[in-house]
């Protein structure tokens, strides 16, 4: 298994905190976000796809664990994922670099011999700490599951009909599925498509089957300064 961490973005909503470093190096309780994955990065075959302020991540993790997406300003996470196509020879677990989570999730995914996605059970209670319900309705994404299979992801939530689960920024792709998605991405030729919209399109056009893996393990996403405070509080409560 290869661990892919997508870390090319700036994180502009964190404003001055990312003026001189990438979002994943912003500290939470005195520790960079990405360092909450340090044990995983050390023990797994890891590749961190960089972009903004890439030299800082290269200096921190070395050449063997980093790859520079030279097109990061004009593309999105999906392009970062496939910019390393020639380096992928095994199943991959793809992780956003702006989340803090129980890393046992990765170990459990590693044992599953299928393309699969952990989905957060009690996500709404976490999101309510981050924003009000109106904003949740605008920012959160719908996720539909049938017989443990993801049937749609990334659509807008309608009439506060909140889904039972939420995408966590983590997915396992079997090698064959990764290759199929690479071909599909090149076919649609939309370099700025966001990750969940891409997955949704691949599902809709029968290029991908994803098994849902519900979990209530620790997870928090960091998009802005309020999220930083929420993450600090949740991590302190977790101790």
pLDDT by residue (tens digit) across 125-156? 999 999 999 999 999 999 999 999 999 999 99
Q: Is the pLDDT score of 189 beyond 90?
A: no
pLDDT, position 178:
98
Fold category of 2-238 in CATH: Spore Coat Polysaccharide Biosynthesis Protein SpsA; Chain A (3.90.550)
Cα maximum dimension of the chain: 48
Give me 71's structure tokens. Answer: 């097109």
Band the pLDDT of 185: cuts 50, 70, 90: very high
27 to 186, 225, 235, 239: CA distances (angstroms): 36, 11, 13, 18
pLDDT, position 237:
93
Within 10 angstroms of residue 46's Cβ, the number of other Cβ atoms is 19
Output the pTM of the full model: 0.96
116 neighbors 108 (Cβ within 8 angstroms): no
Q: Is the pLDDT score of 239 beyond 80?
A: no
Segment 9-61, tens digit of pLDDT: 989 899 899 999 999 999 999 999 999 999 999 999 999 999 999 999 999 99
Tell me if residue 85 falls in helix, strand or coil. Answer: helix
31 to 28, 83, 95, 100, 116: CA distances (angstroms): 5, 29, 18, 11, 29
- Residue 121 CA to residue 234 CA, distance in Å, equals 16
Band the pLDDT of 159: cuts 50, 70, 90: confident
CA 78 to chain centroid: 11
């Amino acid at each position: 298994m290869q661990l892919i961490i997508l870390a090319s973005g700036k994180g502009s909503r964190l404003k001055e905190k990312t003026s001189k470093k990438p979002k994943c190096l912003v500290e939470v309780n005195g520790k960079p976000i990405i360092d909450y994955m340090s044990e995983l990065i050390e023990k797994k075959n890891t590749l961190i796809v960089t972009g903004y302020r890439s030299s800082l991540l290269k200096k921190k993790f070395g050449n063997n664990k980093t790859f520079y997406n030279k097109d990061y300003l004009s593309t999105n996470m999906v392009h970062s994922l496939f910019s390393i196509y020639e380096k992928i020879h095994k199943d991959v677990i793809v992780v956003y670099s702006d989340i803090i989570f129980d890393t046992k999730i990765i170990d459990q995914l590693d044992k599953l011999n299928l393309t699969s996605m952990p989905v957060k059970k009690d996500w709404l209670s976490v999101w309510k700490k981050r924003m009000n319900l109106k904003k949740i309705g605008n920012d959160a994404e719908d996720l539909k599951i049938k017989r443990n299979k993801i049937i749609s992801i990334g659509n807008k939530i309608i009439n506060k009909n909140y889904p039972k689960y939420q995408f966590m920024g983590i997915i396992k792709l079997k090698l064959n599925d990764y290759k199929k998605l690479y071909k599909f991405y090149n076919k649609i030729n939309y370099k700025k498509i966001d990750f969940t919209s891409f997955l949704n399109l691949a599902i809709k056009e029968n290029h991908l089957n994803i098994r849902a893996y519900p979990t209530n393990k620790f997870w928090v996403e960091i998009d802005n300064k309020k999220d930083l405070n929420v993450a600090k509080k949740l991590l302190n409560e977790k101790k």
